[in-house]
Copies of this chain bind each other. A is one copy, B any other.
C-alpha cells in the first residue's frame, strides 16, 4: 500500500508554476519536468483548479497560483488531489460478530485511534506551505 504520487506531483506542479513565473507552464512543459504524460498532468491540474489553488483557462497555455505561496499549505494540496478520504486512511473489517465481546466493541475502540493517527499525519502538512518548499529548492540551487 502506498498513497498515490498525485500528492507529490501536485506539489511539483505548483512549485514549478511559481519558479517558472516568467514563461507559461503548459501541461506539456510540466510533464517534461515531472517525467510523465501531459494528460496525467492535466488531470491533476484539474483537481488543483477545482480546489481553487490555481487558475487555468481552456485553450490558453499556462496557469497561475490563486494565492500567495505562504497561503497554500501542503494540506490544501493533499486534500485537492484526493489521495486519502476523510478518516479512511485505515480500513476496518466490517460486520464483526455482534455476539462476541470483542466483535461487538472493536470498531468503536479502534476508530478514534485510527482517526488520531491520521490527524497526526495530516497536521504535519497543515504546518507547511508551498513557500517552505520553494525556499528549500532555491536554497539547494544556490549551494550548487
Contact = CB atoms under 8 A, between A and B. Distances in A.
Interface of A: 1-5, 7-9, 11-12, 15-16, 19-20, 32-36, 74, 83-85, 88-97, 100-106, 108-110, 113-114, 116-118, 120-125, 128, 133, 136-137, 140-141
Given A35-B97, A100-B16, A108-B140, A3 B116 contact: no
Given A102-B16, A124-B113, A93 B1 contact: no
A16 to B, nearest CB: 5
A19 B9 CA distance: 46
A109 B143 CA distance: 14
A93 B123 contact: no
A2 B91 contact: yes
B106 A12 contact: yes
8 contacts: A2-B89, A3-B89, A8-B93, A20-B102, A35-B97, A110-B133, A113-B128, A117-B124
